[in-house]
Amino acid sequence: MVRIRMKSFGRRHRPFFRICAMDSRTGRDGRAIEELGHYDPMVRNLEARTVLDASRVRYWLSVGAQPSEKVQAILNRLGVTKPAPGEPWKLPDPPAGAPPAPGTAAAAAAATKIPALVAKAGAPAAAPTPAAEAEAPAAPTAPPQS
């Protein structure tokens, strides 16, 4: 039987888990069939704490994989459910201008972006304009050696 469960990574006092589809007979940190996402309980931003490929989780649920208790709690929190019979497991792609859905890799990347660096005097750093980038000379290339 295939189970969707967490694989332990990290170190002491710094837990990190990968959410994987695994054969139920393999060990906790054994070989995974497919890695579906990760869970980092130490991240303060709740949206970036769990990153899942919801379409692949729905696929594994549709073919009979059983989630562990902890993974089931995470799936319930993110609203990922088993597709109904006849319903496609693949989720439709969101529109280009829409914000990423929480719990996805795109949402985690957007939530963890580092703000602009602050200059020495405390003033925000000026972002280069496209015109300034176009005026910058390209790095000279060395001639090929024979």
Distance, CA of 95 to CA of 47 (rounded, Å): 20
CA atoms within 13 A on the CB side of 56: 14
What domains does the chain contain, in order, with CATH numbers?
2-111 (3.30.1320.10)
Count of alpha carbons within 13 Å of 52, Cβ hemisphere only?
A: 30
pLDDT computed for residue 83 by the predictor: 85
> Which tens digit of pLDDT belongs to each residue from 79-136?
988 888 887 777 776 666 666 665 555 555 554 443 433 334 444 455 555 555 555 5
